[in-house]
Amino acid sequence: MELKLNRKNDSDVFSLHEGDVPFLSFRALDDTGIFMNAFSTRFGGVSEGYLASMNLTLSKEGEKPEHVAENFRRMAEACGFDDSRKKLSFQGHTVNVRAIGNEDIRNGILKSDWDGYVDGMVTDVPGLTLVTFFADCVPLYIADPVRKAIGLCHSGWRGTVGRIGALALLRMKELYGTKLSDVICCIGPSICRDCFEVGPEVADAFREAFPESWHREIIFGPTEDTSGNEKYHVDLWRTNELIFRDAGVMEGNIYTTNVCTRCNTEVFWSHRALGTRRGNMAAFLSIKE
């Protein structure tokens, strides 16, 4: 399995595990020996038709619950986490971050036990795996190896504008005593700057949300599309890097895969490339027992 890398030729940030159930993991997290982390691909599952083969959500038309359950079981076996002790996010492009404990664990694959949308989760419970879902949006992995606490966020453009990564860090500081100087932050496979074309309203939201000194690094354009409409490109990776730095994370502790889901549609699901006729990948993060 080959991946096209973006922005820089840096494959040292992640490991590509090419077994029967392939997945990516961050070497900075693997090297601690404390955390299990993974990001799925399109391969290694049992889903059928347009969802073949590793789809990890029930929200797609025609998907069978037993297929999704088996896909999770296979991911758990490949990555080394307990499939019966996981918590699935219920995403709505919000900046809601919840703390998760043993009382929140539900067996199975349903996400209906939330009382509202949750796009970020934090925990300090060993063996409890946090799970979030993706098909171009940005996975944010946050790990504190000193106090052994973690956070996992789904950050689309709205979550990025709302600084969901910084909000997760704040929750970890409040709840677990996390010190920002200890934290490792990883930005997972997601849509790259060149593929993330947006209208002026999204570009304006980034201008309003972030300091002017950031604008040249995160907003590009305008250009015109074939219909003469004004278009921009936004760099979600760089924006989240700057958000983590601005929150107080050390620059050397921030890692970005530089792997675009839209540029690698043969490996990953991409909403921009495939629309609604696609599955979802998942990010997994836990503290080893």
Q: Over the stretch 257-276, which tens digit does the pLDDT of each residue have?
A: 999 999 999 999 999 999 99
Q: What pLDDT is stored for residue 7 in this prediction?
A: 59
pLDDT at 209 > cutoff 90: yes
Which residue would you say has higher pLDDT here, 8 or 275? 275
Give the model's pLDDT for residue 12: 87
**For the chain, how far is it from start to end, CA to CA, in angstroms?**
31
Question: Maximum distance among all alpha carbons in the chain?
Answer: 56
5-14, 39-48, 65-74, 144-153: segment of lowest average pLDDT: 5-14
- Report how far residue 218's alpha carbon sits from residue 256's, in angstroms, rounded to the nearest whole number: 15
pLDDT at position 6 over 90: no
- Name the burial class of residue 229, with classes exposed (0-12), middle (13-18) and buried (19+) by CB atoms within 10 angstroms of its CB: exposed
Contact 229, 159 (CB under 8 A): no
**pLDDT tens-place string over residues 98-129:** 999 998 887 667 665 788 999 999 999 999 99
Identify which of 285, 206, 226 has the alpha carbon closest to the alpha carbon of residue 26.
Answer: 285
pLDDT(238) > 90: yes
pLDDT tens figures, 18-44: 999 999 999 999 999 999 999 999 999
Q: How confident is the model at residue 226 (pLDDT cuts 50, 70, 90)?
A: confident
| Residue 164 · residue 147 · CB < 8 Å | no
Give the Cα separation of 199 and 227 in Å (integer).
13
